Structure 1
């Protein structure tokens, strides 16, 4: 259950970084804040989420859905 909460928290953090990058893009008055910083974080945490899911499945912490047939 803890692993699922961690994945959900990371996914929410990814969405927050996407929104922050969008706000920086729409507000060009602040040149000291780079949009690529937020987009880079988003990509990095997306990779972390994928690796965490693969690792959790390999270690048996989570189970995939059963086959539908």
Structure 2
């Protein structure tokens, strides 16, 4: 539960730095450049991603299973196979020349 609180707090701080960058962009006499806040946002997003991956590997976070990997389709053959031919005409019987 603590890991989720940390992740949410970091994501809220990412949003805060995004709005600070917007205010720095709108002000003409800003002391801190907009790129400073945007750089912080990118670094925080990378930290959040790393925390999520490490927490998942450590077993602290469990994700929902994907329906693609958990679904297995079972094939049941209910018909009997039969030999098919492209020729639908009945084949004439072949007689041997030596047959009486």
Backbone CA RMSD of aligned residues: 0.9
Q: Aligned residue for 1:52?
A: 51
Q: Deviations over 1:3-53 (max 9, x none)?
A: 0000000000000000000000011122x2111110000000000000000
Instruction: Compute the TM-score of the two structures, normalised by the length of structure 1.
Output: 0.92
Specify which structure has the higher proportion of helix: 1
Aligned-pair distance for 1:67? 2.7
Q: Which runs of 4+ in 1 moved over 3 A?
A: none
Is 1:5 aligned to residue 5 of structure 2? Answer: yes
Q: Aligned residue for 1:65?
A: 64
Instruction: Compute the TM-score of the two structures, normalised by the length of structure 2.
Output: 0.65
Q: Which runs of 5+ in 2 are unaligned?
A: 72-100
